[in-house]
Amino acid sequence: MSANQNKVALVTGASRGIGASIAERLAKDGFTVVINYAGNAALAEELAQKIEKVGGKALTAQADVADAEAVRRMFDAAEAAFGGVDVLVNNAGIMLLSRLADVDDATFDRQINVNLKGTFNTLREAAKRLRDGGRVINFSSSVVGLKPETYSVYAATKAAVETMSAIMSKEMRGRQITVNSIAPGPTGTDLFLNGKSDELIDRLAKANPLERLGTPEDIAGVVAFLAGPDGAWVNGQVLRANGGMV
């Protein structure tokens, strides 16, 4: 029997992109998965059915992570369905790029609300409610290291996530809960591809020595490592998964 059997993983932003691959991979590894989404109920349901068809267990849970009350209700629903939560993957995120001088207040607030406050909202619940021995995996980005133009606000939200994550790892002392961040490089999803020319995508794909974009499955594999038994000794770290770009 897999070491992950009877463990419950809540993955935010799991209706598509990296989050959907994470939910699928964790289900394959034996976890019961809670598939959170903001608006795409149909995609989330489709994924849950796909997982259940091959013998996995999944529940969908709508919640805007920026809404603290909705996040509380999501944890309530996961606990009611499965008895508790063992793994939180804070994957939900948005990216709105422009030069700092051109960022309007709404664009600034939206990224802070989803990427930073959204991560805080789920971390606060997890800190109180995760079962002992659990895992928290937060999502940063390799742009925290690369610092490219137009990424100021987005990268700042992710730098804040890295800091919160490391501090929480210390606050979990005595509970055998690890807290880490993953910082992907360019990965082929809507978030990265939308609004970019083929030429720019090609250039960014070649920015790492492996000369390709990351896939959602590449990143899901790193999450699976941190969530599973082999990741037990990694705590309070940022794991950059970017093919060697930075």
Q: How far is the CB of 161 from ligand NAP (least distance, A)?
A: 9
Which 3 state secondary structure label does DSSP give 240? strand
Token readout for 46 is 């489709």
Contact residue for ligand NAP among 32, 60, 91, 121 (CB under 6 A) = 91
- Kindly list the catalytic residues: 154
Binding window for ligand NAP (CB under 6 A); candidates: 10-18, 76-84, 125-133, 162-170: 10-18
- Does position 77 bind ligand NAP by CB under 6 A? no
Residue 128 to residues 56, 122, 124, 125, 186, Cα–Cα distance (Å): 27, 10, 7, 5, 33
The footprint of ligand NAP on residues 96-115 (CB under 6 A) is 114
Q: How far is the CB of 2 from ligand NAP (least distance, A)?
A: 25
# residues near ligand NAP by CB under 6 A: 32
The footprint of ligand NAP on residues 163-192 (CB under 6 A) is 184, 186-187, 189-192
CB atoms within 10 A of CB 232: 13
Name which of 6 and 210 has its Cβ closer to ligand NAP.
Answer: 210
Calpha distance 160→24 (Å, rounded): 28
Name which of 13 and 243 has its Cβ closer to ligand NAP.
Answer: 13
The footprint of ligand NAP on residues 191-220 (CB under 6 A) is 191-192
Binding window for ligand NAP (CB under 6 A); candidates: 60-68, 81-89, 99-107, 228-236: 60-68
Name which of 186 and 228 has its Cβ closer to ligand NAP.
Answer: 186
Name which of 118 and 228 has its Cβ closer to ligand NAP.
Answer: 118
Return the H-helix or E-strand segment holding 143.
helix 143-146
The secondary structure of 153-209 as a DSSP string is HHHHHHHHHHHHHHHHHHHTTTTT-EEEEEEE-SBSSHHHHTT--HHHHHHHHTTST
The secondary structure of 82-130 as a DSSP string is HS---EEEE---------GGG--HHHHHHHIIIIIIHHHHHHHHHHHHS
Calpha distance 183→88 (Å, rounded): 16
Q: How far is the CB of 51 from ligand NAP (least distance, A)?
A: 15
Name which of 6 and 225 has its Cβ closer to ligand NAP.
Answer: 225
Calpha distance 121→65 (Å, rounded): 7
What is the contact surface with ligand NAP in residues (CB under 6 A)?
Answer: 12-19, 36-40, 64-66, 91-95, 114, 118, 139, 141, 184, 186-187, 189-192
